[in-house]
C-alpha cells in the first residue's frame, strides 16, 4: 500500500483500514503457527502497512487540531 493512497483517505477510513490490517495480521499469525503460511514476507509487509496507516492518521489528527 502506497502512502499517497493513504493520504487521500479520511481519518475514519484510515481507522477502518488499520482494523482491517490488524485482522489480517492476526490471521497470518494463526497460519504461521499452523504451518499453512507460505509467504512469510506478507507478515512484514502487513506490519509495515499498519505502521504507515498509524503514522498518516496521526499526521491528519495533528493537522485537524492545529
Query: pLDDT digit string (tens) for 22-49?
Result: 999 999 999 999 999 899 999 999 999 9
Return the domain boundaries, the chain. Answer: 3-65
Query: For residues 66 and 22, what is the distance between their CA atoms, to the nearest angstrom?
Result: 29
Residue with cell 493512497: 5
Please give the mean pLDDT across all residues of the chain.
Answer: 94
Compute how many other C-beta atoms are within 10 angstroms of the C-beta atom of residue 53. 24
Question: What is the model's pLDDT at position 1?
Answer: 77
- Written as nine digits, the cell of 1 is 500500500
Q: Which CATH number fits domain 3-65: 3.40.50.300, 1.10.287.310, 3.30.530.20, 1.20.59.20?
A: 1.10.287.310
pLDDT digits (tens, 9 = 90+) for 13-24: 999 999 999 999
Q: Residue 56, exposed/middle/buried by CB under 10 A (0-12, 13-18, 19+)? A: buried
Amino acid at each position: 500500500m502506497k502512502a499517497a493512497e493513504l493520504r487521500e483517505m479520511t481519518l475514519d477510513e484510515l481507522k477502518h483500514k488499520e482494523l482491517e490490517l490488524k485482522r489480517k495480521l492476526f490471521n497470518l499469525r494463526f497460519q504461521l503457527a499452523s504451518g499453512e503460511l507460505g509467504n512469510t514476507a506478507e507478515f512484514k509487509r502487513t506490519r509495515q502497512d499498519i505502521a504507515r496507516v498509524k503514522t498518516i492518521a496521526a499526521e491528519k489528527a495533528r493537522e485537524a487540531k492545529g
